[in-house]
Amino acid sequence: MDLRSRINVALKDAMRAREADRLSTLRLINAAIKDRDIAARGEGEDGGVSDAEITAILGKMVKQRHESARAYAEAGRVDMATREEAEIKVIEEFLPRPLTEAEADAAVDTAIADVGAENIRDMGKVMAELKGRFAGRMDFGKAGSKVKSRLG
């Protein structure tokens, strides 16, 4: 079952179970996907958004909620921070398992070898390779510093 179908099934299940918070988050996910569908049609693409693009959308949503939760916590709004964390858990259900630290190190080494990177100027090629292979599964901020330390 593709990612879009899994999200729609979860949405229907949340409606049946009357889980208001989960339902709200799932509707936000659907809205973000539909926005991307509309943008793709405007660019002349048809067929909808791929699973890889949906994974990227979900990853972006998680990142935004982490930032919001941190801001709410710093402002003393624990209730809002808790709500953001609950939304993160719902969104992460549809994301692939993140790489462990050891897997991320191995992935960086493999990407460097695959693109034949020799110095820091090749960092963009390595990062593009990693983003293509591990979208939604890797923290690219950390990966960037690993690549930089190995090439620099």
Among 60, 65, 107, 108, smallest CA distance to 86 is for: 65
User: What is the value of pTM for the model shown?
Assistant: 0.73
What pLDDT does 151 receive?
84
d(C-alpha 61, C-alpha 39), whole Å: 17
What pLDDT does 9 receive?
96
Give Cα 44 distance to the centre of its chain: 25
d(C-alpha 5, C-alpha 49), whole Å: 12
Ordered structural domains, the chain, with CATH: 3-92 (1.10.1510.10), 101-151 (1.10.10.410)
CB count within 10 Å of CB 146 equals 18
Mean pLDDT by 10 residues, the chain (152 residues): 92 96 96 91 77 86 94 95 95 88 91 89 90 81 89 81
Q: What is the DSSP letter of 121?
A: G
